[in-house]
Structure 1
Amino acid sequence: MAIGASIKRFNSIIRQIIYIDATHLKARTMGVLLIALCKDGNEMIYPLAFEFANFECIESWTSFFKKLRKLIQYPDLMMLVSDQHNGIFNAMEVIFPNATHGICAYHLV
């Protein structure tokens, strides 16, 4: 799911830096929540898109990135920041080959 107003503003105003992560769900359905967000000019969290998946793997990240790529105007000019999960890194290289990839400072330490 992508929020239309968020995507429109992202494409026109906000810095092209997207933070990517996943969190494991502990409800009866289980699975993971994949999320893409950025920060606005006031350093506030700005949600772009999210997706529910069964597992955090290359296939689920590839599916998520394919949908995200359709929404972003200039995918080659953006930077993706993540925790270096193999699924994220491998899917990003396929779907966003010209985008820059950064490492989350928290996970780097």
Structure 2
Amino acid sequence: MAIGACIEGFNSVIRPVIYIDATYLKARTKGVLLVVVCKDGNEMIYPLAFGFANSECTELWIWFLKKLYKLIQYPDRVLLVSDRHNGIFNAMEAIFPDAAHRICAYHLA
């Protein structure tokens, strides 16, 4: 799910740095929450898109990032930051081949 106002804001005024990650849900339903966020001018978290899935795998990330790719005005000018999970990394290479990819400093430590 992507909120139209957030996508419009990203395409017009937000720095083109996108943070991608997932977290496991521990509720009764289990699963994974996929999250794509940015930071606004005040260094606050700016939501871009999110989704729910049964598990984290390359095919899922490819599907998710294809949807994101269609929403971004200049996808070749973004910087993608992730924890280098194999599924995320493979999907970024397949869907955003011209974009810069970096690893999160927190996960690097």
Q: What range is the shorter-chain TM-score in?
A: over 0.9
Where does the alignment leave 5 or more consecutive residues of structure 2 unmatched? none
CA shift digits 1:12-65 (9 cap, x unpaired): 011100000000001121110000000001100000000101111101111110
What is the percentage of aligned positions where both structures have the same residue?
A: 74
Q: Which residue of 2 aligns with 1:45?
A: 45
**Counterparts of 1:60-99 in structure 2 under 5 Å?**
60-99=60-99
Q: Which residue of 1 aligns with 2:104?
A: 104
| TM-score, normalization by structure 1 | 0.98
Q: Which residue of 2 aligns with 1:24?
A: 24
Provide the rounded CA distance (Å) in 1 between the counterparts of 2:95 and 2:80. Answer: 12
Amino acid in the other structure paired with 1:39: K
Please give the secondary structure, in 2, of the residue aligned with 1:89: helix
Where does the alignment leave 5 or more consecutive residues of structure 1 unmatched? none
Number of aligned positions between the proteins = 109
Amino acid in the other structure paired with 2:74: Y
Please give the secondary structure, in 2, of the residue aligned with 1:73: coil
Please give the secondary structure, in 1, of the residue aligned with 2:29: coil
The ranges of structure 1 where at least 4 consecutive aligned residues each deviate by more than 4 angstroms after the TM superposition are none
- Aligned CA RMSD, in angstroms, stands at 0.5
Q: Which residue of 2 aligns with 1:3?
A: 3
**Aligned-residue offset at 1:100:** 0.5
